[in-house]
Amino acid sequence: MRSIMPPTDNAPRRALDRIADVRVTPIALKDPPLLNASGIHEPYTLRAIIEVELASGVTGLGETYGDMPGLLHLQAVAPLLRGLHVMDVHPMGRIVNSVVTQQQMASVPSTVLDVATGSLPGKMSAKTYAAFETAMLDAQARSAQLPLADYLGGRVRDRVPYSAYLFFKYAQHIDAPYLPDQWGEALDPASIVAQARKMIDEYGFKSIKLKAGALDPDIEVDSLLALKEAFPGVPLRIDPNANWSLATAQRIAKRLGDCLEYYEDPVGTLEEAAELHKSTDLLLATNMVVTNWREFAKNLNLGSIQVILADHHFWGGVRATEHLLSMCDTFGLGLSMHSNSHAGISLMTMTHLSGILPNLKYACDTHYPWQCEDVLEGGRVPFVDGCVEISDAPGIGVELDREKLAQLHQQYLDCGYTRRDDEAQMRKYVPSHKKFKPRY
């Protein structure tokens, strides 16, 4: 007597839930001349939009980095996913791994692979997987007629708070490829306060992050102290992207006193971070030195970092990030979300993911206010009181505007950039510029 039931006739449903087509479309979004530890943002930020279309017509959306060689990997994987069931994230992962390995061994020139950490072999697999996993989860949730947050296990909040992400910047890109942005120059404390005021007025953010590591550290600290005075009680963070030596980070910590909600990536190694934490007792946050499980385990030993800034794009997708966040809970670490320049699909995926985390203690990062273009039907994602809402619409709750997608893809083809290089861009302004860390 067999207790296993005979197969039911679920073939029709399963056929409808199979992947009929996967499209990977690189786009370029206008990006302001924002200064950072490497140099300066180029006039365009590159993203890739993923569409996973099922036989039922339901289409899941994903967004990831648009630079080479990541894009080549996405494009190599995409056609191989046709015919998989929308639930088949494990087979998808095996396809990703086979392509990543093959490409690394063969067709991608090693000079292209070497330019950025995000393009190193160790991240290629996780970020390629994440791009398709998020789109497949979106398609799953849409098929189940559930918002992604509810599909992932049930939201704990209907709106996710983000922080005002301030940058030192120039008023205009060199060579002026298009009209200047609305934000103007910001190279001193007064203009940073003005930038914060404008951004908070428009978006309603309740906390502030200052990107540092670009100018002399004391100008950056003066700016943070000016923000403290201008916005009393508003949580503040500073992020020099590991561009400070341990000694500088310790000196700055003294100047900042109890100013900070957390101190993000002041130094470049877990060992230095451990020393800094011990000597200052400040909460340290990172998206640079805890970026995979090996580093996570090492951080547990050293006690370096107390707040992990998660990012589903490079942590291996939504499910892996969900687990990262429960690991943070297990080990008593705080958490929030890291951001690179991105469009609305990434924002909505981050929002739904953040919507299920009971232990989200800090407002998430987003570069979204710095972009003015997007691929969404009905315009850009709105912020209310610094938050993005999780609606009751299925999936991530937004739809693709194919005309805008086509325009921004054309902009990608026209702009001439194929990989992010903030250092080379800065050499257009300062021919002798060279990235090295720590600079200060």
| Residue ranges that bind a second copy, judged by CB under 8 A | 1-8, 10, 13-14, 84-85, 87-92, 94, 144-146, 150-154, 156, 292-294, 297, 300-301, 319-320, 323, 326-327, 330-331, 344, 356, 358, 374, 376-382, 389, 391-394, 397-399
Shortest reach from residue 64's CB to a second copy, in Å = 19
Q: Report the SS3 class of residue 22.
A: strand
Tokens representing 50 are: 């993923």
* CA dist., res. 152 & res. 154, Å (int): 6
| Burial classification of residue 392, based on how many CB atoms lie within 10 Å of its CB (0-12 exposed, 13-18 middle, 19 or more buried) | exposed
Count the neighbouring beta carbons within 10 Å of the beta carbon of residue 293.
Answer: 14
Q: Which of 30, 127, 209, 211 is catalytic?
A: 211
Shortest reach from residue 337's CB to a second copy, in Å = 17
Shortest reach from residue 79's CB to a second copy, in Å = 18
* CA dist., res. 183 & res. 195, Å (int): 7
DSSP characters over 202-266: HH--SSEEEE-SSS-HHHHHHHHHHHHHHSTT--EEEE-TT-S-HHHHHHHHHHHTT-EEEEE--
Q: How far is CA 424 from CA 115, 118, 173, 419, in A?
A: 11, 17, 14, 11
Q: Nearer Cβ to a second copy, position 210 or 337?
A: 337
Shortest reach from residue 215's CB to a second copy, in Å = 35
Q: Report the SS3 class of residue 400.
A: strand
Tokens representing 305 are: 């970092």
Known catalytic residue: 211? yes
Shortest reach from residue 225's CB to a second copy, in Å = 37
User: Comparing C-alpha atoms, which of 396, 411, 420 is closest to residue 25?
Assistant: 411
Side chain identity at 232, as an amino acid letter? P
Shortest reach from residue 150's CB to a second copy, in Å = 6
* CA dist., res. 197 & res. 114, Å (int): 40
CA–chain centroid gap for 239, Å, is 15
Known catalytic residue: 338? yes
Residue at token pair 């309740």: 206
* CA dist., res. 101 & res. 104, Å (int): 5
Q: Which of 41, 313, 338, 352 is catalytic?
A: 338
Shortest reach from residue 1's CB to a second copy, in Å = 4
Q: Nearer Cβ to a second copy, position 122 or 177?
A: 122
Handedness of CA 34, 180, 374, 369 (dihedral sign): positive
Catalytic residue ranges: 211, 338
